[in-house]
Homo-oligomer: A and B are copies of this chain.
Amino acid sequence: MHAARRGAPRPMAHWQRWEELDPATPAAPGWESRPAPAIYAVAGAHPLADAAASLALHRQTETVEAAFAAIEPVLTRLAPLHFDRDYPEQARNALRGIGLDFPPEAFGAHIMAPMDMRFLHARCVIGTFCRLIGENFDRGAAERMDGESAATVIARWGFHAIDITPCADGRLAGVLDYILRIPPSVVAFRKSYAGALFNVTESLRHWETVELRRWREAQPNAASAPTRFLKIGVYHFSSVDPGHEGCAAHGSDTARAAGALLERLQDFAYAVRNVHGAAANAAILLVGVDTDTDAIRVHVPDATGAMRIDRFADSLSLYEQTRHLSRDAAKEAIRDAVAACAGVSSGDTATEGMRWFCGYLLKNNIAQVDAVRTQQGGRYKEAGHTERLIVVGDAVDEVQMRNLGFQAQMETVEEGGTDLDTGIAIFRKVHDRQGLAVPVLVHFRYDPRLPRAAERAAFKARRLMAAIIARHAALASRKKLFVQAVLREAGGRGMTILDPAPEALAMLESQP
């Protein structure tokens, strides 16, 4: 199972001395020059390395990996016991030991209908993911920027809300917290789609939602403030194996992935202006991620706002260019590179806000490039997919980690079917050879301010579960697909787990 591919998790004790560091405070001066033994290091000597943030993220990765790694040993121990009279009780207790509290029905076994370990495994994966959501990992590290809130700083750069669409690919499952290190408070929307190909009409609606709140409640700022809505599109590519490990939705063709997304971003900006007038000028930004190194390409807009797929500032080059500089000189070098990419002087005021934002992303990402170098030797050993599960429905951002999950936002399989199929195709390559079922989590949030919202979300979740099973009926009938749903109250902690309705499951039995 997964753990085997990654080796046993390192014992926590190794990290003892790092725990003395307060992750909320920056590294002590002179810190970067102290050579750290490779086994301990979570950040290297780069002036823009962020030891505290990288440590916190590394700890989160360790926690997430350890949680999933704990599943296999328990199941291996339980498997031979499953005809014992007290098996359900033993199993329940054993799984409680790894934080999973399943209903007794999950352990039904009979000599003619033995325990389905494949489904139990998938149930454990989804259960673990849901438990990790509930852990409330600290995502606030990036919130304070030089003593000001991120929202204040972002507004000073000319933006009042960020809408970000990455590809659904699991290697971008850490895009907000690890790769771009953008604090949640400024991210109004994050929705993922295969190939990052978002729906223009829906994004326009996001713009309208934000705009109405500015008019009615002056939140996050008044509509009269001269700030813009910023839509970021994130495509990806593989520097190690560009022809195979790039974006599946674009045939692993980097230029096609970047080009299609740029066109979509331009369509969105045009739509906002055209529907809501020249004053409604949304900003757009194209970013590419190298999934082997987590480095980014920021396609800095020029003075007219135009971007080109072959014109970008690249964090990997900047990492090299700035590694021997002082922190301030490194930041200056980034600013110069961004201005050069935009084709303006570094004093140009019209483009200043966007350029500061691009520099901010590059600086943040250099810390991640540094972490990958220090922790992974510069590139991830596994260039491809090792996602644990597929998440469909509403976005989950509370737990982030490269290759955690393939995540595609959808309301129905009818609109999201191609994305779902892409995810399942990826999974079959990973999970089939291990005999595992593909765990699919249908995730919906509901707004408790709307009457009967929980009821409607449950209906929607059951409908989506049934549609997934119907679309992949052959797979489901061979017990290679396991679907569950979780409903969460927006802003609340509680979650309700739903299994597919018996009718949806009955169709598995009726498969030829």
Contact = CB atoms under 8 A, between A and B. Distances in A.
Interface of A: 200-201, 204-205, 208-209, 211-212, 215-216, 223, 266-267, 270-271, 274-277, 411-415, 447, 449-452, 456, 463, 467
Given A209-B208, A413-B414, A414-B463, A450 B267 contact: yes
Contact of A216 (B205, B211, B456): B211
Nearest to A273: B449
A270 B447 CA distance: 13
Contact of A271 (B212, B267, B449): B449
A451 B271 CA distance: 7
21 contacts: A200-B450, A200-B452, A200-B456, A201-B450, A201-B456, A204-B450, A208-B208, A211-B212, A211-B216, A212-B212, A212-B215, A215-B216, A215-B223, A266-B451, A267-B451, A270-B450, A271-B449, A271-B451, A274-B449, A275-B450, A414-B463
Given A211-B212, A211-B216, A412-B415, 10 more contacts: A200-B451, A201-B456, A205-B205, A212-B215, A215-B223, A216-B276, A266-B451, A274-B449, A274-B450, A414-B467
Q: Among A211, A412, A456, find the residue whose CB has the most chain B CB atoms closer than 10 A.
A: A412
A412 B201 CA distance: 16
Q: How many copies does the complex hold?
A: 2
A411 B199 CA distance: 14
A297 to B, nearest CB: 25
A270 B271 CA distance: 32
A398 B240 CA distance: 58
B271 A450 contact: yes
Contacts of A271: 449-451
A452 B267 contact: yes
A457 to B, nearest CB: 10
Contacts of A270: 450-451
A211 B216 CA distance: 9
Contacts of A467: 414
B200 A208 contact: no
Contacts of A456: 200-201
A204 B201 CA distance: 17
Contacts of A447: 275
Contacts of A209: 208
A443 to B, nearest CB: 17
Given A200-B456, A412-B414, A467-B414, A449 B205 contact: no
| In the A-B complex, the 8 residue pairs with the closest CB atoms | A412-B414, A215-B215, A267-B451, A274-B449, A414-B414, A271-B450, A212-B212, A412-B412
A414 to B, nearest CB: 4
A447 B411 CA distance: 22
A477 to B, nearest CB: 18
A271 B456 CA distance: 14
A456 B268 CA distance: 13
Contacts of A450: 200-201, 204, 267, 270-271, 274-275
Contact of A208 (B201, B212, B277): B212
A204 B212 CA distance: 13
A454 to B, nearest CB: 13
Contact of A411 (B211, B223, B415, B451): B415
A217 to B, nearest CB: 8
Nearest to A275: B449
A449 B276 CA distance: 10
Contacts of A204: 450
Nearest to A205: B205
A254 to B, nearest CB: 23
Nearest to A451: B267
Contacts of A411: 415
A452 B205 CA distance: 17
A161 to B, nearest CB: 15
Contacts of A201: 450, 456
Q: Among A209, A212, A266, find the residue whose CB has the most chain B CB atoms closer than 10 A.
A: A212
A408 B415 CA distance: 18
A38 to B, nearest CB: 51
Q: Among A274, A451, A463, find the residue whose CB has the most chain B CB atoms closer than 10 A.
A: A451
